[in-house]
Chain A
Amino acid sequence: MSSRTIRSRAALVFFVGIGCYAILLCNLFVIQILNSSFFSSLGSHQYRLTITQLPDRGPILDRTGTDYLATNRSCISAFIIPKQMHNPEAMYTFLQEQFPDACKRLNNHKQSSFMYIKRRLTEQELQAIKAIHSSDIHLLEESSRFYPLPSAAPLIGFTDIDNVGRAGIEQTCNELLTGTPMKMLLEKDARSGYFYFHKELQEAGTQSVPIQLTIDSTLQFLMDEELAAACKRYCAKEASALIINPDNGDILALSSYPYTNPDDPQFDFYYTKQRAVTEQYELGSVLKVFAALAALEQKIVTPDEPINCKNSTRCVIDGRPITTWTAHGILPFSDVIAFSNNIGIAQVAKRLGPDIVTHYERLGFGKKVGIPLPAEAPGFINPPSKWSAQSIISLSYGYEISASLLQLAQAFSLIAHDGSFVCPRLLLTDPIRISEQPLYSQESIASIKDILRKTTEHGTGKRAKLAGFDVMSKTGSANTLVNGAYDHDKNIYTAAAIIEKGSYKRVIVTCIKESNVENAFASTIAMPVLRRIAEKMVIHERAL
């Protein structure tokens, strides 16, 4: 081979080599300079991972701090990756048999990257999934809410499938119960998903906060039992009750029956409301107590002043007809309240005039109490600017004014706390709010307490007597408004009482709605329920 051939071949090899290097350099230029951001982000995705950790939802506890009213439990959810299924036909057959809803969804999302078959599987559903040993179905452990005391459901509320509070305390305290997520950046080996080389905190997040209520779960349970029994006994549509400690405003029990159990698959939204707080009614004669308190405070009547109750169940005052439950002749004012005579209280209220509204407002009627429950009813008082000639008469015995049971209990707490305004509280961490100065004179409070004692001794509250306790009570039976007219077949029976023994004080309010019992009154329906609740309460609280 000539030296020229060798040189030309060597030059060829050299230029091919140079060409290869040039191609390599071009590629390097494209990768490192032109597309550097794309490849850097690709690398970051492979090596860096941001994980978000949400803290467990905080529990809700009763006042003892040992009984849970809401807690967490793990549940299993099943999902598939439709576009990566190994055996789609078998999957369709299985879903058609066991989860028809999921099958319909799968038909609409055949190419999606993720689809839940069902969240929060029942034990039977989980067994059915495990039995087919399919690699296409993946299981995921999730946290769900559990309520150990179902009867407290209208108060505690519930969460949705994503654990977001949708009613009750779960809704109003959702932020505290949820906390905020913690975000971490992990640098890890691209092949291994298990370990990381470096961990960096991006967002600290906050822990969820347990909520402690003023509710006594045992008392709540005992009260619920009584309400359930009362609904059955009196063929009533609904029953509600609450117990307040007037010394500090703590709501010890707050219940409505029927209730819906959030853990029950047959969930009924109608019964998720805490009706003692969300519903407002014209409560009837139970409000005579506050008309009387206003009259005594204004000194327009004394407890012993004789009032002519016309000895009739019907009479006309200023051209307006008034009916009352039974005829009475001349009664001292205290007995007008004790025997709940509408004609007697109407005459006294006429002397009071529009001031009655100021007193009702001072007692907390017509505005929200402000406890942390959604949809609290503010109540309503017909303002003097909209009054008819009947209004002052109606307002004296609990019509043209609507209130919730909570507002009624709040007003009774004022009497029990010797005239100081006590704001009910539901969260144990909330401050106790009691007015510094009494809103009513001690003389008026003492007089109204005596009148309420008389009501229990020989008036409409006789069934509230509790041996060894000082019981001050009042009842009220009222018709409900249906389509703008009072329906005499649909009544609300309310009873309220202050139970005292030494320093032990409790306010109990009960309400029975729409009973089928003939000739029923609050004194024959609501008061016996109140007494039974009171008996259980004093035994439970060892107040004997």
Chain B
Amino acid sequence: MKKIIFITLFISTHIGFLFLHIHKQMQFIKESFAKQKNEQLLAKTTQEKQARHNELHALHNKQDIKAYAEKKLDLKPVSMTQLHRLPHE
């Protein structure tokens, strides 16, 4: 009787360990997938940030800025005769 109980317990314990091992592997894969999803999100966001950054610099067109300043803001280029450096005290 004792022998049967021992064998049953032995097999059950091993099945239990096997189950826990599979469960651990499943959890590992699940967490790995979640990490990869976050990595992909990070890569996409970084790419979008870079694209916005590049767009911003693309808008720094000096020709357009000058045209805007002259036409919309009614500004004119400064000439040397309009400038005078104040003497140091």
Contacts and interface: CB of A to CB of B under 8 A. Distances in A.
Contacts of A466: 80
Interface of A: 56, 67-68, 71-74, 146, 148-150, 195-197, 217-218, 221, 466-467, 535-536, 538-539, 544
B85 interface: yes
B57 A148 contact: yes
Contacts of A539: 78-80, 83
Contacts, number: 48
Of B33, B51, B80, the most chain A CB neighbours within 10 A belong to B80
A73 B83 contact: no
A136 B62 CA distance: 42
Contacts of A544: 80, 83-85
A544 B81 CA distance: 11
Contacts of B1: none
B71 interface: no
Contact of A221 (B62, B78, B85): B62
A148 B61 contact: yes
10 cross-chain pairs, A with B, having the tightest CB-CB distances, nearest first: A68-B57, A221-B62, A71-B54, A73-B54, A195-B33, A544-B85, A71-B57, A535-B80, A148-B60, A544-B83
B26 interface: no
B77 to A, nearest CB: 8
Looking at chain B's contact residues, is the secondary structure mostly helix, strand, loop, or mixed? Answer: helix
B58 interface: yes
22 contacts: A56-B50, A67-B60, A68-B60, A71-B54, A71-B58, A73-B54, A73-B58, A146-B54, A148-B57, A148-B58, A148-B60, A149-B61, A149-B62, A150-B63, A196-B36, A197-B32, A218-B62, A466-B80, A535-B79, A535-B80, A536-B77, A539-B83
A72 B54 contact: yes
Contacts of B58: 71, 73, 146, 148
B80 A197 contact: no
B15 to A, nearest CB: 25
Interface residues of B, number: 21
Interface of B: 29, 32-33, 36, 50-51, 54-55, 57-58, 60-63, 77-80, 83-85
B62 A217 contact: yes
A538 B51 contact: no
Contacts of B83: 539, 544
A47 B60 CA distance: 47
A196 B77 CA distance: 60
B71 to A, nearest CB: 16
A146 B32 CA distance: 38
Contact of A197 (B29, B61, B63, B79): B29
Contacts of B32: 195, 197
Contacts of B79: 535, 539
Nearest to A149: B62
Nearest to B53: A71
Given A146-B58, A148-B57, A544-B83, 19 more contacts: A68-B57, A68-B60, A71-B54, A72-B50, A72-B54, A73-B54, A74-B51, A148-B61, A149-B61, A195-B32, A195-B33, A195-B36, A196-B36, A221-B62, A466-B80, A535-B80, A539-B78, A539-B79, A539-B80
